């Protein structure tokens, strides 16, 4: 059974394929012109924009009023990260936003955002199967795909396969056959066919087809799926995590978390003297990441213990204990952030540590939302939706965060060379951040003559070579707003490379 037949996105009555095929052909041709053989930049945003318009034209918009305006605005906003810069995160957000916007605008019936997200995320896996099944169905409908014709085609599979096996065996046993086969220039044949370009067309067609020609089951088919009964909803968790077990767990967990919080308040916030051989940086580093894992496990336990219609939901003792425990977890995350801040102050900022800050903030927001859900008695669907919105907003904002510049700026401003305290700058790491780090370094360039003279395997050793090797645009298709801003900076701030200090490198 194929992927296409196991999902809920297959429908019944077949629609004419002429218009979808024409739109798909046009989109593939546009993708070939914009993307194939070129560095990707604003060209990807243009392609997704045209693809969205083509998909809306092919499937027709079924929402109206303010909803249509809001969804179209979201569709346009989802393409802006690609205009800023093309990277893995911006590509994921732009493609998912495009797909979900088309799905929401063309759905005949209201569907949940989880279902729309699932349909959008599975498009790369369904495209080939859906295209093949619909093409075969269209041929059958046109009476071109008859059982006799199908049997004639299948009848060639076994003969050709066995013939290839025999030919391989004979070539290994007979030097004359092997010699003749070796004389065939397969590379010349492939060059004539241009197989890579053909493969690009096929892949693009399979990826965009589910959007151009959407298929969704009717409402009656979806409602025919039996819903879980109340008896089936009951599970062994009601016995394993009964009120008594949850109460005991919360008492123990609150005591343990209180001990951890007291230690952090004493040593991190209060400045108490640590044992011999242990620095504040090592104490902070040991606890930052494990404490986040602890908070996530605690959040999972709370969701299981306080699940709707569970035995602990109405307990007068469990609810206060859960609220206290969530508050302690929020304090735990704040302590983790403070630990990481101490560690960065001692060992500088990196991509991984910046990501950890963002991740910790999301965990803290999730815990606050769990607390709000319990206090306000909101549903699990509300909690899932609000957390998804928070995650989407954070990831969307990260697309516009110039991480190399931010990391370089922090490390330069807090370095021993500039501030007089902290660590010496890690030149190898700064060079490997790329050209976006140069404005932060050049702000204090008189203090860093070694940056322009010391050798580093990951970049060249002059400003001009560094910039030209990474910022030269081959074509307008790879344009991005972030690279344009950096080019404007270099155009407005021409700087001559300083000479090395007398007596050698600084």
Instruction: Provide the token pair at 42.
Output: 């604003």
Question: What separation in angstroms does the CA of 29 have from each of 23, 25, 195?
Answer: 10, 6, 16
Q: Show the DSSP H helices in 122-274 as ranges.
A: 123-141, 147-154, 157-173, 175-182, 186-193, 195-212, 219-223, 230-233, 237-240, 243-264
What residues contact 283, with CB distance under 8 A and at least 6 apart?
267, 268, 274, 339
Tell me, what's the pLDDT at 459?
Answer: 43
Tell me, what's the pLDDT at 58?
Answer: 87
- Each of the 506 residues of the chain gets a pLDDT tens digit; together they read 444 444 444 443 445 677 888 899 999 999 989 998 888 889 999 999 999 999 998 888 888 888 889 999 999 999 999 999 999 999 999 999 999 999 999 888 778 888 888 888 888 888 888 877 777 776 666 555 555 555 555 555 656 676 677 667 667 655 666 666 777 766 665 565 566 788 888 889 988 988 888 865 545 544 444 444 444 344 444 555 667 777 777 787 778 778 777 877 776 666 666 666 666 556 555 555 666 677 677 777 777 777 666 655 666 777 788 888 788 888 878 877 887 887 788 788 888 888 888 888 888 888 888 888 888 888 888 888 998 999 999 999 999 999 999 999 999 888 888 877 777 888 888 878 888 888 888 888 777 766 655 444 444 445 666 666 556 666 788 888 988 888 888 888 776 544 444 444 33
CA pair distance 20, 26, nearest whole angstrom: 10
DSSP structure class, residue 459: B
CA pair distance 268, 283, nearest whole angstrom: 9
Tell me, what's the pLDDT at 460?
Answer: 45
Which one, of 33, 53, 50, lies nearest residue 200 by Cα? Answer: 33
Q: Do residues 294 and 332 lie in contact, with contact meaning Cβ atoms separated by under 8 Å?
A: yes
CA pair distance 151, 141, nearest whole angstrom: 17
Q: Do residues 453 and 55 lie in contact, with contact meaning Cβ atoms separated by under 8 Å?
A: no
Which residue is associated with the tokens 């798909």? 24
Q: Do residues 411 and 430 lie in contact, with contact meaning Cβ atoms separated by under 8 Å?
A: yes
DSSP structure class, residue 435: G
Q: Do residues 23 and 54 lie in contact, with contact meaning Cβ atoms separated by under 8 Å?
A: yes
Side-chain-side CA neighbours of 164 within 13 Å: the count stands at 5
| Concatenated DSSP letters of 161-188 | HHHHHHHHHHHHH-HHHHHHHHTS-HHH
Write down the pTM of the prediction: 0.70
Q: Do residues 84 and 93 lie in contact, with contact meaning Cβ atoms separated by under 8 Å?
A: no
Instruction: Provide the token pair at 433.
Output: 């951040």
Radius of gyration in angstroms for the set of CA atoms belonging to the chain, rounded to a whole number: 30
Instruction: Provide the token pair at 303.
Output: 């969701």
């Amino acid at each position: 059974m194929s992927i296409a037949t196991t999902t809920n996105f297959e429908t019944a009555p077949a629609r004419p394929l002429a218009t979808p095929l024409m739109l798909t052909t046009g989109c593939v041709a546009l993708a070939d012109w914009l993307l194939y053989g070129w560095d990707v930049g604003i060209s990807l945003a243009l392609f997704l924009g045209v693809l969205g318009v083509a998909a809306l034209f092919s499937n027709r918009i079924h929402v109206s009023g303010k909803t249509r305006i809001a969804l179209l605005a979201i569709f346009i906003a989802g393409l802006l990260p690609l205009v800023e810069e093309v990277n893995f995160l911006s590509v994921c957000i732009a493609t998912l936003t495009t797909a979900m916007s088309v799905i929401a605008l063309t759905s005949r019936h209201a569907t949940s955002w989880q279902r729309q997200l699932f349909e959008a995320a599975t498009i790369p896996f369904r495209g080939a199967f859906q295209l093949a099944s619909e093409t075969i169905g269209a041929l059958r409908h046109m009476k071109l795909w008859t059982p006799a014709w199908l049997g004639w085609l299948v009848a060639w599979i076994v003969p050709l396969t066995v013939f290839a096996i025999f030919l391989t065996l004979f070539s290994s046993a007979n030097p004359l056959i092997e010699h003749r086969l070796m004389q065939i220039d397969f590379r010349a044949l492939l060059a004539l066919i241009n197989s890579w370009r053909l493969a690009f067309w096929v892949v693009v067609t399979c990826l965009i087809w589910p959007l151009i020609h959407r298929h969704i089951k009717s409402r009656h088919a979806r409602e025919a799926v039996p819903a879980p009964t109340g008896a089936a909803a009951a599970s062994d968790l009601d016995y394993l995590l009964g009120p008594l077990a949850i109460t005991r767990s919360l008492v123990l967990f609150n005591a343990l978390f209180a001990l951890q919080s007291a230690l952090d308040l004493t040593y991190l916030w209060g400045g108490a003297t640590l044992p011999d051989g242990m620095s504040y940086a090592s104490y902070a580093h040991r606890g930052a990441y494990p404490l986040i894992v602890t908070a996530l496990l605690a959040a999972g336990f709370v969701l299981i213990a306080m699940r709707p219609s569970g035995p602990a939901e109405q307990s007068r003792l469990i609810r206060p204990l859960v609220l206290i425990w969530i508050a302690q977890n929020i304090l735990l995350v704040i302590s983790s952030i403070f630990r990481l801040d101490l560690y960065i102050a001692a060992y500088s900022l990196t991509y991984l540590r910046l990501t950890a800050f963002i991740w910790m903030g999301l965990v803290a927001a999730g815990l606050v939302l769990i607390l709000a859900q319990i206090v306000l008695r909101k549903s699990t669907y509300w909690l899932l939706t609000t957390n998804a919105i928070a995650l989407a907003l954070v990831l969307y904002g990260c697309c516009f965060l110039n991480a190399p510049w931010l990391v370089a700026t922090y490390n330069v401003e807090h370095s021993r060379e500039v501030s007089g305290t902290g660590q010496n700058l890690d030149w190898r790491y700064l060079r490997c951040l790329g050209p976006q780090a140069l404005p932060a370094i050049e702000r204090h360039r008189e203090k860093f003559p070694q940056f322009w003279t010391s050798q580093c395997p990951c970049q060249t050793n002059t400003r001009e070579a560094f910039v030209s090797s990474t910022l030269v645009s081959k074509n307008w298709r790879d344009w991005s707003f972030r690279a344009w801003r950096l080019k404007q900076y270099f155009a407005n701030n021409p700087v001559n490379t300083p000479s090395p200090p007398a007596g050698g490198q600084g």
